[in-house]
Amino acid sequence: MKINKYLLIGGLLFLSNSLWAQDKDTTALPGLLNLQKAIEVALVNNYDLKIAQNQLKQSENSATAGNAGLLPSLTANGGTEYSVNNTEMQFVNMGETPSAGEVINIDGAETLTYNGNVRMDYTLFDGFGNVYTYKKLKDANDLQQTLFRQQMEMTIFQVAQQYYEVARSQQNWHLAKSSLAISKDRYVRAVDQKAFGQANQLDLLNAEVDMNSDSTTLLQAEQQFVMAVKDLNVILGVAVQETFEVDDQIAFREDINMEDVLANTMTNNAALVTQQKQEGISEWDMKITKARKMPSISAYGSYGYSHMDTDAGQILYNESKGFTGGLTASFNIFNGRQQRTAEQNAKLDLMSEQERSRQIMAEVERDAANAITDYQYKRRIVELQKSSLQQAELNFETTKEMYALGRATSIEFRTAQENLLSVANRYSDAQYQAKIAEFYLLQLSGSLIGDYQQ
């Protein structure tokens, strides 16, 4: 299945990064971080992914024939006992013997016993309950592998989402720097113009107010950037205080076929596959429950040894050793209708899982259709904002030239400047929102691991 291919790719990716992490410090990030590097670091260090990996190992450890009761059990027991007693004995008068009826006192009579045995038990038949249990454990392990893949996809998506949030806030920060530089230049120009009588005090005050406003905007943008980096560090599993900038260039994939996305979603979506496997486990649970009404036959065998030495008694020495074996059978004739109730509940559990599968299938199909629509509209918005940015840049440059020639007021210049900053921010936001929508499409379709390309 295609899912297994993705699982294999994801597992190899995780393994290769785990080996790579043994030789390199994965917490050391470059000064300029790109998305591919961020994903590599997260696949090694992310806390949720490490937990999911441990859970997968636990599932693999549990999926054995021994845990299903298909293998015999072997136990060994042994013990020893020593005692010292003052003993008074009177033998039964069974004839003319010297000690017949005589009372004998023995002080400090010692008794030493020790024994040991090895026993093996094996279930020959239990209605195939142990066979069904083993198959359930194997399917549970498959389910955990799907959950691990789902966590990998979620981790990659979270990295991309927060990475682009850092990129967006970084770009807004740089735009705020550029806007402040323009306002500072305007303020210096206003000071010079006032010195030569070409501007009044009001023009100077307006320029200073706008410069201070842009300084505040810059600080706010820088704060958002610093906080976004810390949030990304937590997802990457590195030190929270790590600092870096990111590559904020956006390149959309043009090879995404929406029909393929929808088809892949209905076959490879991790949530849907998880539920289908959960439904299969419920089927095994029902079979295991039904198996309990069948006869159970077990075999056992043991080899034992015991030894006793005593100073008091008719037998001063006793030793035995040998083999014991047998069969046991049990059959539940009536247990207060508990078996019937358990079977009914198991069947209801299966029916509920089947309904849940249909529900998730409908929800996933809806999510895929909505995600496709969302992505298509966001791409159109990007193009519109790109056109608006070009117009805003042209408007600002024209107004700037006219302001330098004294043919545009400071208010008109400021309006053109604010409009350019606003449109640039909207274009940046539109790009990153569309890119996240693209990642969401890949995640829904189960293609984020196998088909991901930067």
User: pLDDT of 339-362, one tens digit each?
Assistant: 999 999 999 999 999 999 999 999
Cα(192)–Cα(182) distance, integer angstroms: 15
The greatest distance separating any two alpha carbons of the chain, rounded to the nearest whole angstrom, comes to: 151
CB hemisphere CA count around 357 (13 angstroms): 17
H/E stretch holding 127 reads none
Q: How many residues does the chain have?
A: 454
Q: Both 87 and 162 in a single domain?
A: no
User: Which stretches of 126-229 are assigned E, i.e. beta strand?
Assistant: none
Query: What's 79's domain CATH number?
Result: 2.20.200
Report how many domains make up the chain.
Answer: 2
Residue 174 covered by a domain? yes
Q: Are residues 59 and 78 in the same domain?
A: no
Cα(210)–Cα(414) distance, integer angstroms: 8
Residue 385: closest CA among 437, 417, 432, 418: 432
Q: Which residues pair with 122 in a beta bridge?
A: 299
Asked whether residue 229 falls in the same domain as residue 342, the answer is: yes
Nearest partner of 377 among 424, 425, 438, 428, judged by Cα: 438
Contact 304, 319 (CB under 8 A): no
Eight-class DSSP state of 30: -
Same structural domain, 306 and 417:
no
Q: Is residue 59 part of a domain?
A: yes
Considering the domain boundaries, does residue 454 fall inside one?
Answer: no
Note the pLDDT of residue 23: 38
Q: Identify whether residues 205 and 80 lie together within a single domain.
A: no
Q: Tell me the whole-structure pTM to 2 decimals.
A: 0.85
Give the range of the structural domain holding residue 171, as residue numbers without chain letter: 2-63+128-294+338-444
Cα(412)–Cα(418) distance, integer angstroms: 10
Instruction: List the Cα angle 175/178/181 in 5-degree steps.
Output: 150
- The CA distances from residue 410 to 172, 207, 217, 416, in Å, are 24, 8, 20, 10
* Locus of tokens 């791409």: 379
Torsion of CA 220, 224, 230, 236, to 10 degrees: -160
For residue 314, the model assigns a pLDDT of 66
304 and 280 inside one domain: no
> Looking at the structure, do residues 185 and 268 belong to the same domain, yes or no?
yes
> Are the C-beta atoms of residues 448 and 268 closer than 8 Å to each other?
no
Residues 276 and 322 in one domain: no
Residues of the chain with pLDDT under 50: 1-26, 453-454
What's the mean pLDDT when you consider all of the chain?
Answer: 90
Within a domain: 282:
yes
The answer on 245 and 113 residing in a single domain is no
Same domain, 192 and 309: no
